[in-house]
Structure formats: C-alpha cells, structure tokens
Structure 1
Amino acid sequence: MIGAVVLAAGEGTRFGGQKQLAELDGRPLLEHALAAVAEAAVDDTVVVLGAGADDVLDTVDLHGARPVICERWEEGMSASLASGLAALEDAEAVVVCLGDQPRVSAEAIRRVLGARGGSPATRATYGGEPGHPVVLEAELLGPLRDVTGDRGARSLLRRIGTRGVPCDDLGGGEDVDTPDELGKVRKVL
C-alpha cells in the first residue's frame, strides 16, 4: 500500500494567520495540494491538521483524505509527520507533501513515486535543490515516527541521503510561508 501524508498543522506565524484557508484561485490554499494527491491516486491519504483544525475541516474539501489531528503540532513539523505516519502503519512507502505547496502537481508526485528504488528516500528537486514531494520507504517510517523538532526529519534524510528526481519542468516547487509568497504564486496561476 502506498500512502500519502499532507502536512498542514502549523498556525502560519510567518503568514500572519491560518494560511491553509488563504484563498488562491477561488479555493483554500490547502485544497490545491490535496487535489494533486487525490489525482495522483495513492492508496490512502491523510492530512495532518493542528492549529485551527476545526476551521479547516469546516472549510476545505479534503478530496478523500482522512484528517489526523496532531495534538503536538506546536512541537514542529516532525511531530506532524510522526502523527501522519502513525496513521499509515501498513504502508510500504509514504509520499510526503506540504499543504502550503499549492503548485505541486499529480505528475510530480507520480514521477517521484515512479523513481523509487535504490534509496530509502526519493525526493523532487527544483533547480537542483531538494523539495517536496518526498517518498519514504518502509525502512524509514519507524525511525521517522521518533524524530522531534522542526528539522528532525530533514537531519535524518541528510544523513542517509536521498535520491533526487528533477521536477523543474512540472513547476510547483515553492511553498507559501508569507503573504508576499502567496502573491507571487497568484501571479503564476
């Protein structure tokens, strides 16, 4: 079973509010990533929520994703990732996407999934820089459930190395952390 985790638990401090609900092209920001994952047709998708979860659940079309509430969302992205991975215990691999990456495409997700093999982690690259989606093989799922902090998973991936898959031609490498970044994405869409 191939699972997917969409991380969307943060409170959007740099954004100045709940960025998951910020409007982009007529729908909430988070919905763009969820639609791409649904179109990529993985077997089971969870969306990890935390800050403002009730508002997100009332507003956003989850496109078939199961919501997982991360009670420890304030501890950082690693806590959110651990919550999502715990909901996908039987997965042979999990693709991790960011809820604030509205231009990620189903094609990028499928490309990274199709490049699996030879490494415990495979990830999209944009301009040679590592990005999302990231596919984690089963051997990493246990250790990643135990990492902490906002950069814990990143440290593990750096240590073990990842296989990069160029996705420049598919666009979508940027995530939205500030209103200015949202404005730049609006100009592209």
Structure 2
Amino acid sequence: MSQVQTGIIILAAGKSSRLGQAKQLVEFNNKNLLQHTIDQLDELMDCVSVVVLGSNNLEIINKINFKNSSKIINSEWEKGMSSSMQTGLKFLMLNYPDLQQVMLLLCDQPFVDGKLLKILLEEKEKTQKGIVCCSYADTVGVPAVFGKKYFDALFQLNVKEGAKKVILSNQEDLEEINFPKGAVDIDTPEDLENLKSGFSGS
C-alpha cells in the first residue's frame, strides 16, 4: 500500500439509551467493544486515528487504552452520529492537512477486525474508487472509506442523515466488500443477548 495519508474516525459518542448501559464498555470475548475496535488498528500502517466521545466520556476514558489514537469529545453528540463524524473529520483535517481519505468505524460492530480494515484500504487503492464500503443485510454501510473529494459531502449531511446517504448517492464511484457480520451491532439488550449466545450474523 502506498503512503496515502489515511485518517480513521471511531464513533463512540452515543448514549446507548436503548441498551441501558454504555455500549462502548460492553464486554465481549473478554474485552469491551471500544477497546476491541481500537485494537484492530494495530494492523494498519500509515494511518492516524481519532476516537470521538460524547456521553459517558469520563467513565469511558478511565477504562480504555487509546494507544496511538487521539481522543476528542463532541459537546454536541446528542445531535447524532453525523455531528460526531464531522467533529472527527474536522480534527483530522486540522491536524493532518495532507489527509487524502478517511475511514469511518463504529464501536459496536464486534466482528469488525484488522483484516477487514486492511481489505477496505487495499481495495480503495486497487480500484481507485472514491468510496469503498461494506455490504450486509441487503444494504451498505460502515466500515467505509471515503476519498478526499467526498469530505464536503460528509460535512453537508444534516443531523438526521448518515454517511450512507453519501454512499448511495455515488454508486458509480463505489466498491463494495461483502461483510455479512457487519449486520451485527449492539443497540438493545436483545442484541447483546444474541451476541453472547453465539449469534454470528451470517
């Protein structure tokens, strides 16, 4: 992989109101979900990363090893995920002016691993597509990589829109990676019970 300046944004700001506890700290396979996500970056080269926090940030900071990732707090996290994504992107662009692409990650997709993230970046370089994303459950979504030309579109999303809008609006410039287990995320107590009961999402 060439020396492309890649930024990674881990979105971990939500309150997890439906779950009833901070999903960032939910334990799975003897590790909390946010720590698992951060640890997957160990396999990536030539990347910079930032974790965007919001609700429960003090509790989370005390229980996470952020390693080489920066951590920032989105004071407007209650506006939604796009607000946190934009906060992370602003931080990366300010601190790394040569940034050429950005990868978006959630902290509650327990089956995302370093191998998948490497495939996304490799496909982005190989295909020269502007966006590389994952496909699962008859839809597309994150993890996803967006080239610099889509930064403006990400900033233009309103609070109720997600990065999926940018993906769906630019399908002619899109490469998809099949990732069935991407459908597994943790939003409710039932999701957590399914995960701990061995549900694989495949």
Give the TM-score normalised by structure 2.
0.84
Q: Which residue of the partner structure matches residue 86 of structure 1?
A: 90
1:141 counterpart SS class = helix
Alpha-carbon distance between aligned partners in 2 of 1:179 and 1:14, rounded to the nearest angstrom: 8
Tell which deviates more after alignment, 176-185 or 67-76.
Answer: 176-185
Tell which deviates more after alignment, 52-61 or 19-28.
Answer: 19-28
**By how many angstroms is 1:173 displaced?**
4.3
Aligned residues: 187
Q: Report percent identity of matched pairs.
A: 27
Q: Is the 8 A contact 2:137 2:183 kept in 1?
A: no
Q: Which residue of the partner structure matches residue 146 of structure 2?
A: 136
Tell which deviates more after alignment, 150-159 or 93-102.
Answer: 150-159
Residue-by-residue CA offset, 1:92-134 (whole Å, 9 max, x unaligned): 1111111111210111111111111443211012355323210
**Gap regions ≥5 residues in structure 2:** none
1:21 aligns to 2:21 (yes or no)? no
1:101 counterpart SS class = coil
Q: Larger radius of gyration, structure 1 or 2?
A: 2
**Gap regions ≥5 residues in structure 1:** none
Give me the CA root mean square deviation: 1.9
2:92 counterpart SS class = coil
Choose which of 33, 46, 55 in structure 1 pairs with 2:50: 46
Alpha-carbon distance between aligned partners in 2 of 1:138 and 1:129, rounded to the nearest angstrom: 23
Q: Is the 8 A contact 1:83 1:145 kept in 2?
A: no
Choose which of 94, 115, 124 in structure 2 pairs with 1:107: 115
Tell which deviates more after alignment, 77-86 or 153-162.
Answer: 153-162
Alpha-carbon distance between aligned partners in 1 of 2:17 and 2:23, rounded to the nearest angstrom: 9
Alpha-carbon distance between aligned partners in 1 of 2:68 and 2:58, rounded to the nearest angstrom: 17
Q: Is the 8 A contact 1:79 1:149 kept in 2?
A: yes
Alpha-carbon distance between aligned partners in 2 of 1:131 and 1:38, rounded to the nearest angstrom: 22
Q: Is the 8 A contact 2:140 2:164 kept in 1?
A: no
Residue-by-residue CA offset, 1:146-165 (whole Å, 9 max, x unaligned): 32213243222211223211
**By how many angstroms is 1:62 displaced?**
1.8
Q: Is the 8 A contact 1:3 1:88 kept in 2?
A: yes
Choose which of 144, 148, 151 in structure 1 pairs with 2:161: 151
**By how many angstroms is 1:43 displaced?**
1.5
